[in-house]
A and B are shown apart, each in its own frame.
Chain A
């Protein structure tokens, strides 16, 4: 969805380096999410934010941190990258209050390789 952008699209880094992945959206949605995708493991939630002042851990938050700089921006940081954080990372947004369940709009993904 072109309304959700992620930068960079590809990144190679070394073990121990700090790296930030950025997500921006023009959909006007309150809610933003970071997922990690590994082959055979589906999409796993890292962190989510229901509004600018609300940050919540997902199922695999260890080793990651996030910042919600504005309604439209949600960044994911790896404080000290390790090889098993090599994965495809997706940002997603949803519209609060969409009934009966919010649908999620995904960005194009960031492919991260940690050497």
Chain B
């Protein structure tokens, strides 16, 4: 079945450093979503990308969708301690409306 691979699994950074997590799908995606889960919390929707090559920004977060719509990335500029958590990408499974989640990238930020 369709898989959504996410790397790295863990990332430790010093506050102020940049961070990037990558998401790759075995099949072309119609769209991709990103979620953030704070420690002890639940996943919360961040953004959805739909168009080939799309780039969206939310303050220090930049989301990209690949030209082939098989990969995506989330880049955080100048991380802050409030960025800690696990970031998940998710894409629709096949032609269905279910989402397949990547395994997530856990980000820790040292102050």
Q: Does A80 contact B (CB under 8 A)?
A: no
Q: Does B75 make an interface contact (CB < 8 A)? A: no
Contacts of A59 in B (CB 8 A): 1
A17 CB to nearest chain B CB (Å): 25
A107, B102: Cβ atoms under 8 Å?
no
Chain A residues, Cβ within 8 Å of B35 = 104
Is B44 in contact with A106, judged by CB distance below 8 angstroms?
A: yes
| Chain B contact patch, size range | 20 to 34
Which residues of A lie under 8 Å from residue B42 when comparing CB positions? 1, 90, 106-109
Tell me if A48 and B98 are in contact (CB < 8 A).
yes
**In the complex, how many angstroms separate the beta carbon of B4 from the nearest chain A beta carbon?**
9
Residues of A within 8 A of B9 (CB): 40
B-contact bits for A79-111, CB 8 A (1 contact / 0 none): 000000000001000000000111111111100
| Contact B50 A43, beta carbon cutoff 8 Å | no
| Measured CA separation A31–B96 after assembly (Å) | 13
B65 close to chain A: CB less than 8 A: no
**Interchain CA distance A100-B103 in the complex, whole Å:** 23
A104–B28 alpha-carbon span in the complex (Å): 21
Which residue of A is nearest B86, CB measured?
A42
* Assembly CA distance A31 to B98 (angstroms): 10
A41 at the interface (CB under 8 A from B): yes
Q: Give Cα A108–Cα B37 distance, bound, in whole angstroms.
A: 11
**Smallest CB gap from B92: residue in A:** A101
Cα-based distance from A1 to B43 in the complex (angstroms): 9
**Which chain A positions have C-beta within 8 A of B43?**
43, 90, 104, 106
Interface residues of A (CB under 8 A from B): 1, 31, 40-45, 48, 50, 58-59, 90, 100-109
> Other CB < 8 Å A-B pairs besides A100-B50, A101-B31, A105-B45, 15 of them?
A1-B44, A43-B43, A43-B88, A90-B42, A100-B31, A101-B50, A102-B97, A104-B35, A104-B45, A104-B90, A104-B99, A106-B44, A107-B42, A108-B42, A109-B42
Chain B residues engaging chain A, CB cutoff 8 angstroms: 1, 6, 9, 30-31, 33, 35, 41-45, 48, 50, 88, 90, 92, 97-99, 101-104
